[in-house]
C-alpha cells in the first residue's frame, strides 16, 4: 500500500470509527472524530512505513475491493498480531472478500511465525461477528455497558 492509498483510505476509516464511537460509546460527533483521528494516527506514526504494520489492499484483477491493516506482535502482546481494520468497499460486499483477506493475512502471519491473531468488534456488528466466528475467532474478553437513568 502506498502512502497515497493510505491517506485516501484513512479519511473513510476515521469517519466510520468516529460514527461507531458516537453510537457505541456515547461520544459527541466532535469528540468521537478527535479520538478516532488521534488513535489511528498514533497507531501509524510513520504512515504506510510504520514498522511492524501490514497494510494490504485487496484486489480482484485490477479492481480495489478493500483493505486490511494488521500490526505484528509487540512487547505488550508478544504472541499476537492485531487486526486494526478490515474493510470491503460497499460495492463489493457480500462476496466473501473479507474472509479471503483474513485468510491471506493469516498465511502471511504464519510465515512470520505469529501464533495468534486478535481483533475488536463492536457488539452491534452482527455481520462481522458472524464472519469472525466462522473463521474460528473466539471471544476472550467482553465489555458490557448499561445506561443509567438520571436521578429524578
Q: Are residues 81 and 122 in the same domain?
A: yes
Instruction: Report, as an integer, the average pLDDT of 98-107.
Output: 98
- Buried b / exposed e across 104-123, counting CB within 10 Å, b at 16+? ebbeebeeeebeebbeeeee
pLDDT for the residue numbered 6: 96
- Cα maximum dimension of the chain: 61
Q: Are residues 67 and 115 in the same domain?
A: yes
Burial class (CB in 10 A: 0-12, 13-18, 19+), 67: buried
Residue among 71, 68, 107, 70 at smallest CA distance from 88: 68
**Model confidence at 85, in pLDDT bands (50, 70, 90)?**
very high
pTM for the full model?
0.88
Q: Are residues 14 and 37 in the same domain?
A: yes
Q: Are residues 38 and 69 in the same domain?
A: no
Burial class (CB in 10 A: 0-12, 13-18, 19+), 124: exposed
Residue 6 placed within a domain: yes
Residue 148 placed within a domain: no
Q: Check if the beta carbon of residue 40 is closer than 8 Å to that of residue 13.
A: yes
Q: Are residues 61 and 8 in the same domain?
A: no
Q: Which domain holds residue 43?
A: 1-48
Residue among 37, 134, 33, 128 at smallest CA distance from 88: 128
Q: Are residues 86 and 131 in the same domain?
A: yes
Q: Are residues 31 and 59 in the same domain?
A: no
pLDDT for the residue numbered 139: 94
Residue 108 placed within a domain: yes
Amino acid at each position: 500500500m502506498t502512502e497515497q492509498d493510505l491517506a485516501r483510505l484513512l479519511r473513510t476509516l476515521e469517519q466510520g470509527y468516529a460514527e461507531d464511537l458516537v453510537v457505541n460509546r456515547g461520544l459527541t460527533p466532535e469528540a468521537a472524530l478527535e479520538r478516532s483521528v488521534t488513535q489511528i494516527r498514533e497507531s501509524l506514526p510513520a504512515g504506510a512505513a510504520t514498522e511492524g504494520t501490514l497494510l494490504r489492499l485487496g484486489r480482484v484483477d485490477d479492481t480495489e475491493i478493500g483493505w486490511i491493516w494488521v500490526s505484528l506482535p509487540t512487547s505488550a502482546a508478544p504472541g499476537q498480531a492485531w487486526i486494526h481494520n478490515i474493510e470491503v468497499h460497499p460495492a463489493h460486499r457480500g462476496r466473501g472478500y473479507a474472509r479471503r483477506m483474513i485468510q491471506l493475512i493469516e498465511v502471511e502471519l504464519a510465515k512470520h511465525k505469529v501464533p495468534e491473531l486478535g481483533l475488536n468488534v463492536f457488539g452491534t456488528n452482527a455481520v462481522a461477528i458472524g464472519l469472525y466466528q466462522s473463521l474460528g475467532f473466539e471471544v476472550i474478553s467482553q465489555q458490557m455497558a448499561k445506561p443509567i437513568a438520571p436521578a429524578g
